[in-house]
Homo-oligomer: A and B are copies of this chain.
């Protein structure tokens, strides 16, 4: 096990009928709030009104910044920073999915500096202080509600970059599984896949070889997320399934799964970010296309950990050779993505084969930022080639 520091100060309030606690929790952090939210869904569901009412009842003055899009974009964050500065807000409240939470995080950091917020993402400036943040996540997946990361897309430069900073943990996150009942099947599946692939990035990229605590933690969460994901698709108002997804996705990326694993990479997310940046595909949908191809190539080099996953999560016969177990495990995971309604090839995403070099080139921008030096044009192209058009159930 490698050295690490684990310090996650987020207060998680979990359960049905907890949304109204946004009032007192936010009030304890400031009297004037910027409320960040998305497009129509929070207003349709009544959640927007419940949040505003709870804030008002506790004496929190609310300034609004709605309209966050999936794959949140820089120019909209800049607008939010302008609003926050003009109104001199003391706290930020995020109501929505990962895109809303990440927008709120960028605003909480950007509102306290004079330079452009994108400099945080390119590493040209460091985050020194932030406004407090309270969150009501309405989608299980990104895990932003309990972690120190944020991801943003710069449409001008076509870069989707993610960074982490210990100041970015939300102060309070209110996780009410009932708020996720209205998430449609596709985004329920994408969210579950995103959380599963957060875990598997760590699992497959660590160089440590004896990490039973982390391995069991990850395998257990992957199994739980798959189980709850299936149940939530079958019955969208299954409280236990929604609860398992919401808590499981938060735990998947809260720092625990990677603690002690040393230097880990996010190569599947790295390539996916280029798909989202160039074609605005949903993050989870891009991931389920990229992940199996990446895994096949990795497993050919180091099958042992893939074999372990196949045994632990897919009940694969331990007596088989590692390479065979690895193949079975990856195929089962890909079939599961497919059964959940996620795309498993670039064709389904409508991305033409002629664009592959462009995607590979774009991905290298993030490879440099994240220091994934093994990923050059050729190696990224090799991964992309394998996810072009093989069908569900067919080996890519």
Interface segment among A69-77, A242-250, A321-329, A371-379: the answer is A242-250
Report Cα–Cα, A260/B4, bound state, in Å.
27
Question: Taking the nearest CB of chain B, how far is it from the CB of A311, in angstroms?
Answer: 11
Question: Taking the nearest CB of chain B, how far is it from the CB of A280, in angstroms?
Answer: 32
Q: Does A6 contact B12, Cβ atoms closer than 8 Å?
A: yes
Residues of B within 8 A of A216 (CB): 216, 219-221, 223-224
In the complex, whether A357 has a CB less than 8 A from a CB of chain B is no
Q: Does A213 contact B244, Cβ atoms closer than 8 Å?
A: yes
> Contacts A212-B227, A213-B221, A216-B219 given: A14-B18 contact, CB under 8 Å?
no
Residues of B within 8 A of A243 (CB): 1, 260
Q: Does A11 contact B7, Cβ atoms closer than 8 Å?
A: yes
- Identify which of B6, B221, B244 contacts A14 (C-beta below 8 A): B6
Report Cα–Cα, A14/B7, bound state, in Å.
11
In the complex, whether A24 has a CB less than 8 A from a CB of chain B is no
Q: How many residues in A have their beta carbons less than 8 Å from beta carbons of B?
A: 41
Q: Does B1 contact A12, Cβ atoms closer than 8 Å?
A: no
Report Cα–Cα, A373/B248, bound state, in Å.
33
In the complex, whether A60 has a CB less than 8 A from a CB of chain B is no
Report Cα–Cα, A18/B10, bound state, in Å.
25
- A218-242 contacts to B, CB under 8 A, are 219-221, 223-224, 227-228, 239-240
Report Cα–Cα, A148/B256, bound state, in Å.
19
Residues of B within 8 A of A248 (CB): 213
> Contacts A212-B223, A224-B212, A228-B212 given: A14-B9 contact, CB under 8 Å?
no
Question: Taking the nearest CB of chain B, how far is it from the CB of A133, in angstroms?
Answer: 15
- A318 to B, closest residue via Cβ: B315
In the complex, whether A251 has a CB less than 8 A from a CB of chain B is yes
- A237-280 contacts to B, CB under 8 A, are 239-240, 243-244, 247-248, 251, 256, 259-260
- A212 to B, closest residue via Cβ: B224
Q: Does B7 contact A12, Cβ atoms closer than 8 Å?
A: yes
Instruction: Kindly name the residue among A212, A221, A247 whose own CB sees the greatest number of chain B CB atoms within 10 A.
Output: A212
Residues of B within 8 A of A177 (CB): 1
Residues of B within 8 A of A7 (CB): 9-12
Q: Contact mask A1-23 → B, CB, 8 Å, 1/0?
A: 11111111111111110100000
A-B contact pairs, 12 of them (CB 8 A): A1-B177, A2-B15, A3-B15, A4-B12, A5-B12, A8-B8, A212-B244, A213-B220, A213-B244, A216-B220, A216-B221, A217-B220
A-B contacts besides A213-B221, A213-B247, 20 pairs, CB < 8 Å: A1-B15, A1-B239, A1-B240, A1-B247, A3-B15, A4-B12, A4-B14, A5-B12, A6-B12, A6-B14, A7-B9, A7-B11, A14-B259, A210-B244, A212-B220, A212-B244, A213-B248, A217-B220, A217-B221, A219-B220
Seen from chain A, the residues whose Cβ lies within 8 Å of a Cβ on chain B are 1-16, 18, 177, 210, 212-213, 215-217, 219-221, 223-224, 227-228, 239-240, 243-244, 247-248, 251, 256, 259-260
